[in-house]
Structure 1
Amino acid sequence: MVPDVAAQDTPAVRRPALSPSRAGDFKQCPLLYRFRAIDKLPETPSAAQVRGTVVHAVLEQLYGLPRAERLPERARALLAPTWERLLSEQPELAELFGRDAGWLDSAGGLLAGYFELEDPRRFDPEACELLVETELPSGVLLRGYIDRLDVAPTGEIRVVDYKTGTAPREIGEAKALFQMKFYALALWRLRGVVPRQLRLMYLADRQSLAYTPDEAELARFERTLEAIWQAVLRAGKTGDFRPSRSRLCDWCSHQAHCPEFGGTPPAYPGWPEPSAGEESLVDRVD
């Protein structure tokens, strides 16, 4: 049989998946989930989010260097070329900073905060910016990116997440813990090992918080994600994604389309394909 060349060249359709960001969106406001995952309304990242993206990229590159070269001055030297590379991919980001050519200094301050929290010359991570994807026994597909994964010689796993944003702490920490449990569950299902530690590194505050999950807790969290996904599917069939007003509306980019603020959502386009779980630049850092 002659192979179907056209079929081979067609990218495989990816099933809709649940990511930490999209699950958090639906919990916060089902209509926000729809705007981001289904309508895919444009959303300009903030200056803080772009700064966080640059810092994350520099730290990823830092761990690609030999241990002896993982020094503060080397990390700072990576800032400008990393920013230029991001600008070449998304030139519109330059408008966020106007004529403020010194904004990279604030990114340098975040890197300095990182070096106060740990010495990257002491170990090699297993992976940085790691994509994890797994299907739960219930059929829910999980997908997300882990900032850094450390694996000890004894096999113990540590999940590390860098926090660079300015969200209010009581909101930011709840969101961060939800995100970390998501990664812990995905790794448990992928590897059969519960991560020994979930570590949040707040670079601006020079603080590091550690959390130790257990199997029972992750099993409960799995049921939570399954319930969220079932609610997403029910809304997806009808297009009934209702707004949920809260303090977080103050930071929402989509008030012009939200009935809570006198707006009108676009016509419902139907359940998305290929994926409702992709994460954008806006999602990847807080």
Structure 2
Amino acid sequence: MTQPTFPGMPTPLYVASPSRLLAWLDCPRRYRMHYLDRPRPRPRGQRAHTSVGIATHNVLRDFWDLPPERRNPAGVAELVRTSWIDVGFRDGDQSRAWRDRVRERVTDYLRGIDRERHPVGVERSVSVKTATLAVTGRVDRLDERGDAVVVVDYKTGRRVPTPDDARTSLPLALYAVAAGSVLRRPCTRVELHHVPSGTVVGHEHTGESLARKVAEAESIAADLRRADADFREHGPDSDRFPARPSALCGWCDYRDHCPEGRQVGPAQADWAGLEPLPGPATGTAAGPS
């Protein structure tokens, strides 16, 4: 998003979130429909795996607001009960089965961390400005380790992340730069915590690698600045927003408004992103990671 200008004014910073930058890389058509089209096309309703992810993040956020004596399995169970989002599941049995699974997973995950040591930040908003770009985002957790701060991002999908995922992640790198700037402390380590498996993978950035990620973000923002300007002039007729058909089209919230996306294949069921559970309330096909 670019602020309006007047004659003689310097070029304003391009304001974006990491999600906005990545949306452009994933599919310019989806970027246009989500961020530029007004009115915005009606997206598909929330899927079950999204409900699971949001509820898990909310429990892990609210856990730190509990008094220390309630940071136990009973406290987690109550948080899951009050945070649960019963949307997108095939039926009530599947929803209840996944509520129990999330309770088990979060409880197991929290057993592996120091529950007495409060993080430096929980869902902390951070921002960083460069000569051309202003990025703002929200970090799941910021841990203190010695004099440094570590960026922690929760993952709740089926796929277990790898160290390369942590190394190449643009949002994590931008969060590290922003957190270090906001807190005025070293912040070069980023970690992905996969709650379903308890897997933790991380990467230790250098000043040079973080600078490369900032330059990458600035390059994407430069493309977005040109694309946004073209949209203001030509609207949906702009040719800067082609669809990028892929297997992910079956999961796209705006698939119903994209002829190219509909040609890829059928839309995935609302609960297809869930892995199978034992018993009758199982998920089905593989979903996005």
Do the two structures share a fold, i.e. TM-score over 0.5?
A: yes
Is 2:53–2:157's contact at 8 Å kept on the other side of the alignment?
Answer: yes
Q: Aligned partners of 1:227, 1:183: CA distance in 2, in Å?
A: 17
Is 2:176–2:188's contact at 8 Å kept on the other side of the alignment?
Answer: no
1:62 offset after TM fit, Å? 1.0
Q: Aligned partners of 1:41, 1:193: CA distance in 2, in Å?
A: 42
1:225 offset after TM fit, Å? 0.4
Aligned residue for 1:47?
48
1:194 offset after TM fit, Å? 4.0
Aligned residue for 1:260?
260
Higher relative contact order (CA 8 A, sep 6+): 1
CA RMSD of aligned residues (A): 2.8
Is 1:72–1:115's contact at 8 Å kept on the other side of the alignment?
Answer: no
Aligned residue for 1:134?
128
Q: Aligned partners of 2:79, 2:168: CA distance in 1, in Å?
A: 27
Of 203-212 and 249-258, deviating more is 249-258
What amino acid is aligned across from residue 126 of structure 2 in structure 1? V
What amino acid is aligned across from residue 30 of structure 1 in structure 2? P
Q: Aligned partners of 2:160, 2:33: CA distance in 1, in Å?
A: 23
Is 2:14–2:132's contact at 8 Å kept on the other side of the alignment?
Answer: no
1:169 offset after TM fit, Å? 5.4
After the TM superposition, which residues 1-286 of structure 1 pair with which residues of structure 2 at under 5 Å, given as runs?
A: 17-39=15-37, 40-43=40-43, 44-83=45-84, 94=87, 96=89, 98-100=91-93, 101-102=95-96, 103-116=98-111, 118-136=112-130, 138-152=131-145, 154-166=146-158, 173=165, 177-239=169-231, 240-261=240-261
Of 248-257 and 222-231, deviating more is 248-257
Q: TM-score by structure 2 length?
A: 0.73
Distance 1:262 1:123, change over 3 A: closer
1:22 offset after TM fit, Å? 1.4
Q: Aligned partners of 2:166, 2:113: CA distance in 1, in Å?
A: 27
Q: Aligned partners of 1:256, 1:194: CA distance in 2, in Å?
A: 46
Distance 1:261 1:69, change over 3 A: closer
Q: TM-score by structure 1 length?
A: 0.73
Q: Aligned partners of 1:181, 1:109: CA distance in 2, in Å?
A: 31
Q: Aligned partners of 1:80, 1:23: CA distance in 2, in Å?
A: 34
1:37 offset after TM fit, Å? 1.6
Aligned residue for 2:235?
none
Q: Aligned partners of 2:221, 2:214: CA distance in 1, in Å?
A: 11
**How many percent identity over aligned positions?**
26
- Unaligned regions of 5+ residues in structure 2, if any? 1-12, 232-239, 264-288
